[in-house]
Chain A
């Protein structure tokens, strides 16, 4: 659009001229230019300059016949009217110039005359401005009248401008504006009418003039802002112009067309601008279509066809730019299809990108035409382009300057001259970059509009231009993106074209692998056309690859094969390009998303879903290629994740033994490994996997033509995707495997199971474990089927309730706090072996141990014992696992078998040990601490000093097995021994005592403290027990269970009440019962004493007493009692109250019971018996 001259691009602005009084010009022209509509001012400082307004004198003989014009539009006509032909001229006179001096008046008159005569020919309007310094300066009426008469103007066209008074000046300026506006309008109207009259009267000699007149009328209308009129005449002009093509004979045909199109271009630009600026988008587009349609076939002679296409492209470009600059949006109010049903407008036509794209297309067309023309021109030889060709004064015409001495004349050109001139001019431009720029603009715009296909089409256009310009890397990049879209949507023919370019790009870039892969992809495309196109321009239209046919596909495949075999095809040799395999092998990877899947796909299926290790396993490998010619595979290497399973198939036909010498796996000779187009090659092979776990086929490597290694990712038939592109072909699809089940659900991976362990692992356990003992779990390993090598036994103890660890994390440091502990492992075989075994215990932690197992032959067994100790009652899971390998080799070490066993073991507390203190028999000391601490906080037992207190320790068996009690003792530390003697009164008479489940054993100790101590520690109860097992077992597995006795309070009682009565009584026979109260203090003690009636006894004496006991003396009460009932009878209850300590003391009931025989018993040991009975109760 910038190519157009300024005057054409902007709407015409009326021009006025002011002459004289230069000091005022600035303010006047400024005021005019900000007018709405604005006016341009041509300011002339004085009247002598006015000549430039004059018309160049044309000395045309009015009588001569009208000469045919030599062109349609003069180039400078519009510019002239915008800059040099004012619609109105204002002559400025100072008031003093015209009022005072007659000489000055005369001067003014002559100036005015002069001016009048100058503008006469132009029909410009005249305005006279009188400049006054002050508003008050009255001008004589006669002066103005005289001036008006001189100037021959209306009174309103004479304006008084007051120079120094701002308001007055503005007022007069405003008046001037309106006068100017009116005069301009009149002027342009008159001019327009004048020319219009000629058109209407058909008063013109040639059609050129008709066009010119139309243009002028339209421009004059534009000056008046009469857009509809302007539009009408522009359209009329272009219509006439179109008709001229056939009729005009003024110029040689090529140049004639060029001129007409150049003019049409201007008309088109004007019309489009007018329509778009008026917001008439639909009309503009409709107009543009019409314009295009009327000119699209006016190509002219083939030599200059490129000029047409250039012009045509320009139409689109300009219109696109116009639409873009007016930023049109598609109006919503428009009818759905924007026009009549038969001639609907479409969405894209509202988008500048649409026009850019077409402009680029046509520019490409131009380039093609230009190439044709210039090649034609070169053949005829350089026929001398005239040097001095230049544009003439007419739009779209060229002339030749002819110098002859001093005279320079302008000569018309012949068409041949013009053609070679145009060719040479055109060749100076690099169209490619312009085309690329246009396509890029369109591409970006379409991309943002969501038109991806349009965008890629533009992208392809760009790429082709880059390709044509030799920028192959840029081209390749763009082509790759475009190819992606075509692949995705399955437009194979388009893909073929793009791949053809890509192939050539890689050839030019010397990238062999790309060349091979693009070639192979092309060859494998589903294109079956057998149409042979014999058009010569075939190549340019369908890209370097030509039209897709089967034979072309075969050729391309052949070409690749030739490169691989290092044969030179003639095509390759003659160019400067020579693709050579530099390395030994070309490597191509094909995965599941690769476009090369159509070249080769490998489907691998195992026939089973799982298999035992070592057992034979069938695997089907199927290969499919869509390449048109058969592909001979030299060698096929199938790779698994277990490299042992890899195997290679070698075609015997080729017999290329050199290739597989490095290969360790299986090598299979196969008769023929030739892939036929679109037919599965199915191979079944048997492999063995020795390793358990996942066995997956990773890839299939095919070596083709000895040098091309194609590595295909293996695909499971079950999850195999359709072939890109081929999936749309209406062909019978074959299955990768004959077996339909395998073809639909086959998998490329298989689970290899573990070997069945032929080893027994036995855990024996006898009942619950007892806390404290060394619980033994025998473990036996018995090999039944195979030898055990480098076996290892792992032992793990886990809390059965979950939580895993047997200790809380905080406790990990202190071994005492483990509830369960793995102490050790011992073998049964014998002492010396166990010594060794101890060394081989590699690691034992509290809950974890690893023991190595010696090599065992078939049928051998080995056993060991786990020694576990419970520190607390806890249920524990014992996990034992045996890991071993089948032989001692390195390989086997990697692959181990495992046998797991587990056992839940309860930990139980074997015995509950309790204890109880008893007072000395029938001696009740007043223990003050007890009285004081009546609240019961202090549960401490109090013992009286120097008395022999009883301690009864009981051990209850709470297990389900009988236990042996070997000893029960109180162990006190050395200090305590001296302060307090503890003696066992009754002990275990035999070696041990058997305590049955739930039975209780009691030991009796006498405690005789000898010192006062509020917190005396008596010692620990030590119980030595073991399980009651048969002879010969666990001789030494005694367990010592210790329980600490609580601290006791030893004090000296102030009073001691002792009761004396006979060991037994006989019914009805009276006996004496003494109560002795000993005051061990050095104070006088007052006591109260009371005796409560008992129904079994009658007694003598008072019920209540009071007494004073002297220090260190003893007071005795005695009663005579007669028993009334037999059996164990409680004596009457005695309560002694110390007044000093206000504490009551009554002996416990147990101590005040006496057995009453009905008659005199007859036995000897009655004393000791009754005594022990008392103790028990």
Chain B
């Protein structure tokens, strides 16, 4: 189950952060997402270790912490997507698929002429679409 998704801008500022959990750990998820930015920095800035996947937008598992696993995605436009899940076994393909859909939703949201680049995404339709994507995660259905 995905418990949290986030979009983080160039300046590492949160553009969108939504948690999908009944438990009272929303703040903790903020911390988890924020800390995972370090891993993204590390992966992007010291890429020699992972040469084959150097330019892939999907960054894979960033780190597991406590009950969570954090997955990351970095677009060409230096926007970071993060997904926190509590699933123990996450299929790489599922994560990729999720991010692909998430990215598409993001692109549609920022292509809104009323959206100002670099600002938080407040669009309701984006939120609704993200919820759908999150719900369908791992179930194999497509949005």
Contact status of A728 and B42, CB under 8 A, knowing A336-B53, A344-B60, A346-B63: no
The residue of chain A having its C-beta at the shortest distance from the C-beta of B71 within the complex is A344
Report how far A174 CA is from B37 CA in the complex, Å: 61
Report how far A361 CA is from B92 CA in the complex, Å: 28
Is A454 on the interface with B (CB-CB < 8 A)?
Answer: yes
Are A453 and B90 interface neighbours, CB within 8 A?
no
Report how far A460 CA is from B115 CA in the complex, Å: 34
Report how far A729 CA is from B89 CA in the complex, Å: 36
> Number of residues in A with C-beta < 8 Å to the partner?
47
Contact status of A493 and B53, CB under 8 A, knowing A344-B60, A347-B43, A358-B65: no
Are A493 and B27 interface neighbours, CB within 8 A?
yes
Tell which of B98-106, B117-125, B130-138 binds the partner.
B117-125
* A289 surroundings in chain B (CB, below 8 A): 64
Are B31 and A457 interface neighbours, CB within 8 A?
yes
Tell which of A317-325, A469-477, A535-543, A834-842 binds the partner.
A535-543
* A296 surroundings in chain B (CB, below 8 A): 67
Is B62 on the interface with A (CB-CB < 8 A)?
Answer: yes
Is B11 on the interface with A (CB-CB < 8 A)?
Answer: yes
Secondary structure type dominating chain B contacts:
mixed
Interface residues of B (CB under 8 A from A): 9, 11-15, 17, 24-28, 30-31, 34-35, 37-39, 41-43, 49-53, 60-67, 88-92, 115-116, 118-122
Are B116 and A730 interface neighbours, CB within 8 A?
yes
* A344 surroundings in chain B (CB, below 8 A): 60-61, 92
Interface residues of A (CB under 8 A from B): 289, 293, 296, 330, 332, 336-337, 341-344, 346-349, 354, 358, 361-362, 446, 449-454, 457, 460, 486, 489-491, 493-494, 497, 533, 535, 537-538, 541-543, 547, 727-730
Select the residue from A330, A489, A543 with max chain B CB neighbours within 10 A: A489
Are A450 and B34 interface neighbours, CB within 8 A?
no
* A533 surroundings in chain B (CB, below 8 A): 24
Contact status of A453 and B35, CB under 8 A, knowing A490-B11, A728-B9, A730-B116: yes
Are A541 and B25 interface neighbours, CB within 8 A?
yes
CB of A494, distance to nearest CB on chain B (Å):
5
Contact status of A337 and B53, CB under 8 A, knowing A493-B27, A494-B30, A728-B13: yes
* B28 surroundings in chain A (CB, below 8 A): 541
Are A452 and B15 interface neighbours, CB within 8 A?
no
Are B41 and A342 interface neighbours, CB within 8 A?
no
Contact status of A346 and B50, CB under 8 A, knowing A538-B24, A541-B25: no
The residue of chain B having its C-beta at the shortest distance from the C-beta of A349 within the complex is B63
CB of A242, distance to nearest CB on chain B (Å):
15
6 sampled A-B residue pairs with Cβ under 8 A: A341-B92, A342-B91, A347-B39, A453-B37, A547-B26, A729-B120
Report how far A541 CA is from B31 CA in the complex, Å: 12
- 8 more CB-based (< 8 A) A-B contacts, given A346-B39, A490-B12, A542-B27: A347-B43, A452-B38, A454-B38, A491-B13, A491-B30, A497-B27, A541-B24, A541-B27
The residue of chain A having its C-beta at the shortest distance from the C-beta of B8 within the complex is A489
The residue of chain A having its C-beta at the shortest distance from the C-beta of B61 within the complex is A344
* A347 surroundings in chain B (CB, below 8 A): 39, 42-43, 63
* A491 surroundings in chain B (CB, below 8 A): 13-14, 30, 34
The residue of chain A having its C-beta at the shortest distance from the C-beta of B29 within the complex is A493
Report how far A346 CA is from B70 CA in the complex, Å: 10
**A730 interface neighbour in B17, B38, B41, B119, Cβ under 8 Å:** B119
The residue of chain A having its C-beta at the shortest distance from the C-beta of B9 within the complex is A728
Are A330 and B49 interface neighbours, CB within 8 A?
yes
Report how far A347 CA is from B43 CA in the complex, Å: 9
The residue of chain A having its C-beta at the shortest distance from the C-beta of B95 within the complex is A342
The residue of chain B having its C-beta at the shortest distance from the C-beta of A529 within the complex is B26
Report how far A361 CA is from B15 CA in the complex, Å: 27
Are A728 and B61 interface neighbours, CB within 8 A?
no
Are B24 and A535 interface neighbours, CB within 8 A?
yes
Contact status of A358 and B66, CB under 8 A, knowing A342-B91, A450-B42, A454-B38: yes
Are A730 and B30 interface neighbours, CB within 8 A?
no
The residue of chain B having its C-beta at the shortest distance from the C-beta of A492 within the complex is B14
The residue of chain A having its C-beta at the shortest distance from the C-beta of B94 within the complex is A342
Are A337 and B39 interface neighbours, CB within 8 A?
no
* A358 surroundings in chain B (CB, below 8 A): 65-66
Select the residue from A349, A362, A457, A537 with max chain B CB neighbours within 10 A: A457
The residue of chain A having its C-beta at the shortest distance from the C-beta of B51 within the complex is A336
* A362 surroundings in chain B (CB, below 8 A): 66
Are B41 and A450 interface neighbours, CB within 8 A?
yes
Are B60 and A494 interface neighbours, CB within 8 A?
no
Report how far A361 CA is from B32 CA in the complex, Å: 12
